[in-house]
Structures are given as structure tokens and as C-alpha cells.
Chain A
Amino acid sequence: MSTDAALLEEVGKDYKYGFHDKEAPVFKSEKGLTEEIVRAISARKEEPQWMLDYRLKALKHFHERPMPNWGCDLSGIDFANIHYYVKPSEKTEKSWDDVPEYIKETFDKLGIPEAERKFLAGVSAQYESEVVYHSIREDLEAQGVIFMDMDTGLREHPDIVKKYFGKIIPYSDNKFSALNSAVWSGGSFIWVPKGVEVEIPLQAYFRINTENMGQFERTLIITEPGSSVHYIEGCTAPIYSSDSLHSAVVELIALEGSKIRYTTIQNWSNNVYNLVTKRAQAYKNATVEWIDGNLGSKVTMKYPAVHLMEEGARGEVLSIAYAGKGQYQDAGAKMVHMAPNTASTVLSKSISKDGGATSYRGLVKVMPKAHNVKCNVRCDALLLDEKSVSNTFPYMEIENKSADIGHEATVSKVGEEQLFYLMSRGMSEDDAVSMIVNGFFEPFTKELPMEYAVELNRLIQLEMEGSIG
């Protein structure tokens, strides 16, 4: 067995979502990225001309733009060896019964239909490039809440989409936002009307099945004044010997007095490059919260941002990252204070094990006219062994002297005294480590709906088994 294959087996052994289905797509683009492929994607979707033009401009920018020379090593990505568009079925279904059997089985194994019955207000399930299932509770639909896949959103609500699409994150923002803008497919489109509070979460589920597949979903959420929504996304993929790429763009607009909470549980298999751009604009007295959990993937680069556009806006990023063998989690947050009396908090917690590496990379920016800004950043890292690594890169650009900025960073190791204490109460070493780690992540898990918190604790326990030697 080659070293890579051995490593793959090693890192994948506890990953329960690593199975894959036999592929049966109705359309699959050739490997590689050309103008023909971009035109073909747009044509298949019967898009308006402006979207095709946007895609082509983005493609040009992608080709011209160099790879980022900071952060993680991305040299392993072979853009010529990726399928950019894989269409698994003819259309998006509203009933699980109509979803092709092999795809439905996948989501059954992942527990999605069951979760929907139990505690979700709406579900979207994306398989490869397209959303194969979509539903929303009737009472929400009756109140005018829109929750659909992005392609349908573009067809049915072109005015709203055209107004906001690419306005928060232009294609020229970075190389991967350009790539997403050129080949995007699927993702969620959510619009919550004035004053409507969606009290139970809407969930989207993303699954990559094909080897060497790129998934490029595009999500746009707009909350009208006084409304609120909680959106959750989960991601998994099979384990293959060569890498896949996930590169999403997520744009949020929280209008006056509204609130968006966006929760991510990223649990990609350890052969996925996860390079995601997420940014929100919060207007007067609006609140945006990114609850961002990064467990899987080979490399993750993700820095959810909140631009605090008007007075009284609040932003929060609460993130955890776990990096095991062969994993690099480069995650963080960006808070840009553009207006007076805005506030933000960042809490980042990371764990590295078996030589894994985590970084906190964050930016706090206060514009000259933004008086009385409050911002608090805290990063805690826990190292489970000597081989593992944690870094902190906090950038501050403070251009208004009245700003009240707090920053605190800690790095600690699982203490021998804590382990001994728990073991003296009968717990095995693995259970003791799991308990300490779950405790470390607790500020994050307590913000999740119960079902997710339980699942996350279980995943962490799996990761900790046989951990400390």
C-alpha cells in the first residue's frame, strides 16, 4: 500500500459517512474548466443572459487571478482534474418518495428525512451539483417565506436575486469566489418577509458523491426588517483516494432590526478541499451570527465576515475547528465596523491532534467614522499531543480611537491532572479525553439545537478513540 493510501485508510477509519453510491448522473461535465463548460451549465439551467455574462466575467477573473500565497498549501488542487458540474437527477422533488432511490438511501443513512419530521421547518438536500429534494412547512410558505434552491430562486424571483447576487461578495473578491461565480450550482435562496420570525430552523444538506467532483453551491439569504431566521447546513462526502473540492459563496443581508443565525456543521471526509467565502451585511440594529463548526476536510480556509453597515448592528462569530492527522483548519472571522455604536464578538476554539494543524486568522476593522465600537475576540486552542500545531493571526485595523477592542488568546494542553481526576472516577482514558474535549467545545455546542449537539459530541468521541498514546 502506498503511503497515501495507508494515510487515507488511517484518517478515514472512524468516518461513518465515507460510503459512496454507484454514480448514475443524468449529466456530468468533462473534467476541466473551459468557457464551453460554463456556457453548458448556464444553458442547461436556461439562465437569463445577465447570469451567463456574470459567469463568463468570473471565469476570466479566475484564470487571471493567481493562487493565494498565504494560509494553507493549495498546490494539491488540480483544477484540470475536476468535474465542475454533475447533475444527479432531472428535477428537484418535494416528496422524498420521488427522489431517485439510490440518492434517497444516502440521505436516509444520514438521517435527514427523520430529522425533517422531528424538528425542522424546511429541508433542502443537495447531491453533487443540484438540489434533489426541497420542502418547506406550509404555514411558513403561507406567511410568504421563500426557501428554495438557488436555481429555482433565480427563475422565480429574478428581481430579488439580481438585486443582491454578487453584491456582498463580488466575483473578484478572491480566486475561489471567482471560481464559484463561474460554475455555481444549487445552494439555498431564502427571503423572509417583514416582521416574520421563523422560529424553527431551516436546514440544507450538502453531499458530494462523485470522485474528483467540485461542489460550488451558492447561498443568498435576505431578512426584511424585523424578521428572523435560523439556517443550518451540514456537509459530508465519501472517502476517495483523490481529492474533491468544495467552494461555496454565501451572502447574507440582514435589513433593519432583523436577525440571521447561520449554523454550519462541516464534516467533509478528509480528502476535500473546503474553500468557502461567507460574508454578511448587517443594517441598522440588525444581528448576524455565524455558528461555524469545522470537523472534517483536508484543508479548510474559511473566515465568515460581518460588515456592520449601520448604527446598532451586531455581529457574532462562534467557531470551532478540529484538525486530526493530515488536516489543516485555517478558520477565523472578519468584523468590519463601518458605523458608530456597532458591536461584535468572536469566540474561536480549536483542537489539534495527531499532528493536525489549526489556525485562527481574523480581522477586526474599525472605519474612521465608526465611533463607540465594541469588539471582543477570544481564541482558545487545545493541543492533544506534542506533534500538533496551533497558530493565531489576529489582524487589527483600528481607525477610530474611541473603539473598545479586547483580544485574548490561550493555548493549552489536556492536563495530566484533569485526566487523572476523571480516571480516578472510573472513566477510561479515551472517555476522559472526550469529556475534556466536549467541555472545551461546550460554549459552541450549547448554541446548537439539541439533536446536533448530541451528534457533535458523538463525533468528537469517535475522533478521540485510541487517541492518546
Chain B
Amino acid sequence: MAKAPLIEIKNLHAEIEGQQILRGLDLTINEGEVHALMGPNGSGKSTLSNVIMGHPSYEVTEGQILFRGEDITEAEADERAKAGIFLAFQYPTSIPGVSMGNFLLASVKAVRGAENVKPLPFRKELMSTMEELGISRDFARRYVNDGFSGGEKKRCEILQMALLKPSLALLDETDSGLDIDALKVVADGVNKQMEARPEMASLVITHYQRLLNHIKPDFVHVLVSGKIVQSGGPEVAHQLEENGYDELLKAHGVAPEPANV
């Protein structure tokens, strides 16, 4: 039986401050599928996740995004979140003075509807989810991402994902800045949610193959200069790991990446 398309991205062109980043990107993700998007720095990976989430700084100049068949190309970020899209940020921003607990309660109320969230059951759910992700209880009182280490920030992103239960999770470079132990904790958290809710689809955005050792993709796409230039199974990631991006870049007439980025 054919799965229902969850998100369809058609001929997407997007720019920021007049600079063209995405140049005709097509991608369809069905319910329950795990897609990986790989690509060198500057290829437009983070732009794609921001555009799918509705970042106001990016302008879609051509093409469209359909979510469950509905055109969301112009929708505000909060509408997309309520529709079931979630972005785990590469660099989560801090909000001084706002406790994680209040922030999470407000988010969950916004997405599930305030009438569906009761404080005591929510508190229980929050505490047990934090425990599963190895986040200490006093994080509920700490200010959102304020003074968190890289690993703490990423774990808290996954915590939000677990509470908001999206139907599409965008994981933007969730592995960046993590050592191998932290990476494993975060990947385990994601995998648990995939097991618990097999209908959830994911788009895992990463520069390196190593995250894909922990989160197994069904499909792998390679992004170069704002377009998907290669798609396939997990083997695509392994080829990239062996050969690097240089050959691909050369084939598409793009200068190779500088070393050590």
C-alpha cells in the first residue's frame, strides 16, 4: 500500500537578503520515513530546514511546500508547528528570564490546545521525559538555553520534540558540537521516539555520516548549491564518507570546501 505523502516540496527557490540559496529543490517525504539530507557547508541545508519551519528572514521566490496536501508556503511558523512540524535547531537561542518549565508548558499548550493540558499530568510527563533523556530536574527551573553546554542544548531540543510529538521532525545538524557520548544519548532519544511513534517522519540534516550510524535513514539525499543532486539508500552516505564532497562539487562546478570547517 502506498504511503500518504506527508510533505511535498516542489521546485523550491528561496533567498535571504537577496542572496539565492535554494535553486529548485524537490523532495517528498511520506509518513514514517526517515530521510537524511547531506551536503557540504553552504549548500543550503539549514536554509531548507528554516524555510520548511517558516523563518521570516527567508523568502520563497518560486515553488511551494505542501503539508498533508495543503499549501503552507506562506504560513507563519506557529501555524506550521500546530500542523505538526518541528525543528530541532542547530543553534537553539537563549531566552533569559524564561524558565524551561514555563516555556515547555506554553509550547505544549499552544500545540495541543490549552484545554488538553492539565498542569499535574503535564508535570509528570515532563519529569519522566527529562529522566529518559538524562536531563536533570533542575533544568525545568533554568532559563531557556541560557548558559547550557552544546550537549545540554541538543538534549533539550529532543526533549521538546518528545513533548510536542510532531508528525515531521527536522533535525538540523543535531550532531554538531557533540562528543561521541553526547551524540549517542541524543540519537538514542530520537530513536526511542521513532519506535514509539512509527508514523513520525524525519528529515535528518547532517554534514557528516557519523550521525547516520546511530539514526538509520531509509533515504539519503545530497544537496549541492541549493539542489538535490543525488538520492538513494544508506549506501549514498557511505560513498560520501569514503570519497568526501570534492568529487561531487567538482562535477557540479562548485569550488571544493576549505579544509577544517
Indicate which residue in A417, A427, A436, A442 contacts B78 across the interface (CB closer than 8 Å): A427
The A/B interface has a contact count, at CB < 8 Å, of: 79
Residues in A whose Cβ lies below 8 Å from that of B57: 416
A428 CB within 8 Å of chain B: yes
Nearest B residue to A457, CB-CB: B102
Q: Contacts A416-B56, A435-B103 known; A427 to B95 CB distance under 8 Å?
A: no
Indicate which residue in B55, B77, B97 contacts A442 across the interface (CB closer than 8 Å): B97
Is A440 a contact partner of B97 (Cβ separation < 8 A)? yes
B10 CB within 8 Å of chain A: no
Is A425 a contact partner of B89 (Cβ separation < 8 A)? no
A418-456 at interface with B (beta carbon < 8 Å):
418, 420-429, 431-432, 435-436, 438-443
Residues in A whose Cβ lies below 8 Å from that of B82: 426
A415 CB within 8 Å of chain B: yes
B224 CB within 8 Å of chain A: no
Residues in B whose Cβ lies below 8 Å from that of A424: 53-54, 77-78, 80-81, 86-87, 89
Q: Contacts A416-B57, A420-B56, A439-B143 known; A426 to B110 CB distance under 8 Å?
A: yes
B150 CB within 8 Å of chain A: no
Q: Contacts A418-B95, A436-B95 known; A425 to B76 CB distance under 8 Å?
A: no
Is A425 a contact partner of B107 (Cβ separation < 8 A)? yes
CA distance A439 to B102 in the complex (A): 10
CA distance A440 to B53 in the complex (A): 26
Is A426 a contact partner of B107 (Cβ separation < 8 A)? yes
Is B164 a contact partner of A426 (Cβ separation < 8 A)? yes
CA distance A420 to B78 in the complex (A): 9
Residues in A whose Cβ lies below 8 Å from that of B93: 415, 417-418, 421
Residues in B whose Cβ lies below 8 Å from that of A431: 106, 110
Indicate which residue in A420, A425, A429, A432 contacts B164 across the interface (CB closer than 8 Å): A425
Q: Contacts A417-B93, A418-B93 known; A428 to B98 CB distance under 8 Å?
A: no
B17 to chain A, nearest CB (A): 12
Residues in A whose Cβ lies below 8 Å from that of B174: none
Indicate which residue in B77, B102, B103 contacts A420 across the interface (CB closer than 8 Å): B77
> 1/0 per residue A395-424: CB within 8 Å of B?
000000000000000000001111011111
A391 to chain B, nearest CB (A): 23
B37-81 at interface with A (beta carbon < 8 Å):
53-57, 76-78, 80-81
**Which secondary structure characterizes the binding site on chain A?**
helix
Residues in B whose Cβ lies below 8 Å from that of A441: 97
A interface, how many residues as a size bin?
20 to 34
B223 to chain A, nearest CB (A): 21
CA distance A374 to B57 in the complex (A): 45
Nearest A residue to B146, CB-CB: A439
Is B81 a contact partner of A440 (Cβ separation < 8 A)? no
B50 to chain A, nearest CB (A): 8
Is A429 a contact partner of B95 (Cβ separation < 8 A)? no
Nearest B residue to A421, CB-CB: B93
CA distance A441 to B89 in the complex (A): 26
Residues in A whose Cβ lies below 8 Å from that of B96: 439-440, 442
CA distance A298 to B15 in the complex (A): 44
B162 CB within 8 Å of chain A: no
B111 CB within 8 Å of chain A: yes
Nearest B residue to A426, CB-CB: B110
Is B97 a contact partner of A438 (Cβ separation < 8 A)? yes
Is A423 a contact partner of B77 (Cβ separation < 8 A)? yes
Residues in A whose Cβ lies below 8 Å from that of B76: 423, 429
CA distance A417 to B76 in the complex (A): 14
Nearest A residue to B88, CB-CB: A424
Residues in A whose Cβ lies below 8 Å from that of B160: 425
B242 to chain A, nearest CB (A): 36
B156-193 at interface with A (beta carbon < 8 Å):
160, 164
CA distance A431 to B109 in the complex (A): 12
CA distance A429 to B56 in the complex (A): 12
Residues in A whose Cβ lies below 8 Å from that of B92: 421
Is B98 a contact partner of A435 (Cβ separation < 8 A)? yes
Residues in A whose Cβ lies below 8 Å from that of B111: 425-426
13 further A-B pairs in the complex, CB-CB below 8 A; given A431-B110, A440-B96: A416-B56, A417-B93, A423-B78, A424-B78, A424-B86, A425-B81, A425-B103, A426-B82, A426-B164, A427-B107, A435-B95, A438-B98, A439-B95
The 6 closest A-B pairs by CB, nearest first: A439-B97, A426-B110, A442-B97, A439-B98, A425-B107, A423-B77
Chain B residues at the A interface, C-beta cutoff of 8 Å: 53-57, 76-78, 80-82, 86-87, 89, 92-93, 95-98, 102-103, 106-107, 110-111, 143-144, 160, 164
For this complex, 29 residue pairs linking A to B, each with C-beta atoms less than 8 Å apart, are A418-B95, A420-B55, A421-B92, A423-B54, A423-B76, A423-B77, A423-B78, A423-B81, A424-B77, A424-B78, A424-B89, A425-B81, A425-B106, A425-B110, A425-B111, A425-B160, A426-B81, A426-B82, A426-B111, A426-B164, A427-B110, A431-B106, A435-B98, A435-B103, A439-B98, A440-B97, A441-B97, A442-B96, A443-B97
Chain A residues at the B interface, C-beta cutoff of 8 Å: 415-418, 420-429, 431-432, 435-436, 438-443
